[in-house]
Chain A
Amino acid sequence: MHKFWKSGDPFIWLSGVALMFSLLMIGGLIFLIAAKGLGFFWPSDVAVLGLKDGTSVMGVITGHEKVNGYNAAPDAPSIYRTQVKIGNRDLYGLDFKWVDDDQIVKTDYPKFAVVLERREWGNMFGFIKDVSESGTIICTGNEKCWPVLAGLVPQYARIADEIKSIEKGAIGGINMKIEDLRLDIKGLRSEGASQEKISKVEAEIKEQESLYKGQEEKLFSLYQDFNKEKFVMTSIDGREKEMPVGAIVQAYRPNAMNWLQKSGLYASNVWAFVSEDPREANTEGGVFPAIFGTILMVFLMSIVVLPFGVLAALYLREYAKQGVLVRIVRICVNNLAGVPSIVFGVFAVGFFIYGLGSTIDGIFFKEALPNPTYGTGGILWASLTLALLTVPVVIVATEEGLAAVPKEIRDGSLALGATKFETTWKIVIPSAMPAILTGLILAIARATGEVAPLMITGVVKLAPQLPIDGYFPYMHLERKFMHLGFHIYDVGFQSPNVEAAKPMVFTTALLLILIVVALNMTAIIVRNRLRKKYTTSAV
Chain B
Amino acid sequence: MSPKTKLKEPKQVSSGVKRRKLADRIATVIVTIGGIAIILCIIAILVFIGIETVPLWQGVKSELVSSFILKESPDLASYSLDSPDQSQFPFMAAGTEQYKEIGFIVTNDGMVNFLSLKDGSVIKKQQLPGLEGTKIASSYVSENNKLYSFGTENGNILPVRFDFKMSFDGDKRSIAPAVNEEEPLNFGTSPLAIIAYEENEDGESAGAAYTTGGELLLTASVESASLLGGGEKKRITHNLTGSLEGSDVTALELDRFTWNLYAGTSGGKLYHWDVRNKENPVLLEVLNAAPNSNTPITALAYLLGDRSLIVGDSAGDVSVWFEVSEPDSPKGKVLKRIHDLPPMELPVVDILPSARDRGFIASDNGGNLNLYHATSEQKLASFKTDGPRVENLVYSPKADGIMAIDRKGKLYDWDIDNSHPETSFKTLFGKVWYEGYSKPEYVWQSTGGTDDFEPKFSLTPLAYGTLKGAIYALLFAIPLSIFAALCVSQFMHPALRNTIKPIIEVMAALPSVVLGFFAGLWLAPVIEKIIPAIFTMPIVLTIFTLIAVFAWQALPRRIKGRFKEGSELFLLVPVILLGVIVTLWINSPVEQIFFGGDYKSWFYNVLGLQYDQRNSLIVGFAMGFAVIPIIFTISEDALTSVPKHLAAGSLALGANKWQTAIRVILPTASPGIFSAVMIGLGRAIGETMIVLMATGNTPIMDWSIFNGFRALSANIAVEIPEAPHGGTLYRILFLAALLLFFFTFIINTAAELVRQNLRKKYGQI
Contact = CB atoms under 8 A, between A and B. Distances in A.
Contacts of A349: 720
A17 B576 contact: yes
Contacts of B548: 13
A341 B529 CA distance: 34
B744 A450 contact: no
A487 B326 CA distance: 50
B572 A315 contact: no
Contacts of B679: 338
B552 interface: yes
Contact of B598 (A71, A329, A513): A71
A452 B514 contact: no
Contacts of A282: none
Interface stretch (B193-201, B346-354, B423-431, B584-592): B584-592
A18 B687 contact: no
Given A7-B656, A350-B49, A354-B725, A449 B509 contact: yes
A152 interface: no
Given A18-B483, A346-B737, A512 B511 contact: yes
Contacts of B28: 319, 420-421
Nearest to A335: B748
A69 B529 contact: yes
A29 to B, nearest CB: 6
Contacts of B573: 20, 23-24
A492 interface: yes
Nearest to B491: A12
Contact of B717 (A13, A419, A425, A455): A455
A422 B597 contact: no
Given A9-B549, A338-B682, A422-B20, A311 B598 contact: no
A54 interface: no
B511 A516 contact: yes
Contacts of B23: 419, 421-422
A11 B542 CA distance: 10
A339 B721 contact: no
B52 to A, nearest CB: 5
A498 B717 CA distance: 21
A8 interface: yes
A422 B587 CA distance: 70
B42 interface: yes
Interface stretch (B31-39, B100-108, B699-707): B31-39
A480 to B, nearest CB: 12
Interface string B492-525: 0000000010111111011111101110111000
Given A16-B491, A308-B38, A524-B502, A70 B512 contact: no
Interface string B728-765: 00000110010011001101110011000000000000
A35 B496 CA distance: 28
B552 A9 contact: yes
A32 interface: yes
A105 B507 CA distance: 46
Interface in A293-307: none
A342 B686 contact: yes
Given A338-B744, A452-B689, A20 B38 contact: no
Contacts of B628: 22
Contacts of B545: 10, 13-14, 16-17
B516 to A, nearest CB: 7
B363 interface: no
B578 to A, nearest CB: 12
Interface in B576-607: 576-577, 584, 587-589, 591-592, 597-599
B7 interface: no
B66 interface: no
Contacts of B749: 331, 335
Contacts of B592: 73-74
A339 B532 CA distance: 37
Interface residues of A, number: 97
Interface string A460-491: 00000000000000000000000001101100
Nearest to A493: B693
A198 interface: no
Contacts of B49: 343, 346-347, 350
Contacts of B752: 331, 334-335
Interface string A111-122: 000000000000
A245 interface: no
B437 interface: no
A33 interface: yes
Interface string A69-100: 11111100000000000000000000000000
A503 B224 CA distance: 63
A295 to B, nearest CB: 15
A71 B533 CA distance: 11
Contacts of A17: 483, 541-542, 545, 572, 576
Given A17-B545, A70-B584, A391 B42 contact: yes
Contacts of A392: 42
Most buried by A among B39, B545, B734: B39
A272 interface: no
Contacts of A422: 20, 23-24
B48 interface: yes
Contact of A311 (B34, B597, B725, B748): B34
A502 interface: yes
B570 A20 contact: yes
Contacts of A334: 748, 752
Most buried by B among A315, A492, A498, A509: A315
A421 B24 contact: yes
B549 A13 contact: yes
Given A19-B484, A70-B533, A485 B658 contact: no
A344 B512 contact: no
Contact of A336 (B27, B42, B569): B42
Contacts of B521: 492-493, 498, 502, 505
Most buried by B among A4, A424, A455: A455
A385 to B, nearest CB: 10
A350 B483 CA distance: 43
Contacts of A57: none
A488 B491 contact: no
Given A26-B504, A338-B744, A512-B511, A13 B533 contact: no
B509 A516 contact: yes
A211 interface: no
B657 interface: yes
Contact of A388 (B42, B482, B717): B42
Contacts of B717: 342, 345, 452, 455-456
A16 B530 CA distance: 25
A403 interface: no
Nearest to A326: B39
B27 A341 contact: no
Contacts of B632: 22
Given A19-B569, A70-B587, A342 B713 contact: yes
Most buried by B among A25, A29, A338, A521: A338
Interface of B: 20-21, 23-24, 26-28, 30-32, 34-36, 38-39, 42-43, 45, 48-49, 52, 479-484, 486-488, 491, 500, 502-507, 509-514, 516-518, 520-522, 529-530, 532-533, 541-542, 545-546, 548-550, 552-553, 569-570, 572-573, 576-577, 584, 587-589, 591-592, 597-599, 625, 628, 632, 656-659, 661-662, 679, 682-683, 685-689, 692-693, 713, 716-717, 720-721, 725, 733-734, 737, 740-741, 744-745, 747-749, 752-753
Nearest 6 A/B pairs, CB to CB: A315-B35, A340-B686, A449-B511, A8-B658, A18-B483, A452-B688
Given A33-B518, A345-B720, 12 more contacts: A18-B487, A22-B481, A29-B518, A32-B522, A70-B591, A71-B588, A341-B688, A344-B45, A346-B733, A420-B28, A452-B717, A493-B521
16 contacts: A12-B658, A17-B541, A24-B573, A70-B532, A315-B35, A315-B38, A340-B688, A341-B688, A346-B733, A351-B48, A388-B42, A421-B23, A489-B517, A492-B521, A502-B521, A517-B506
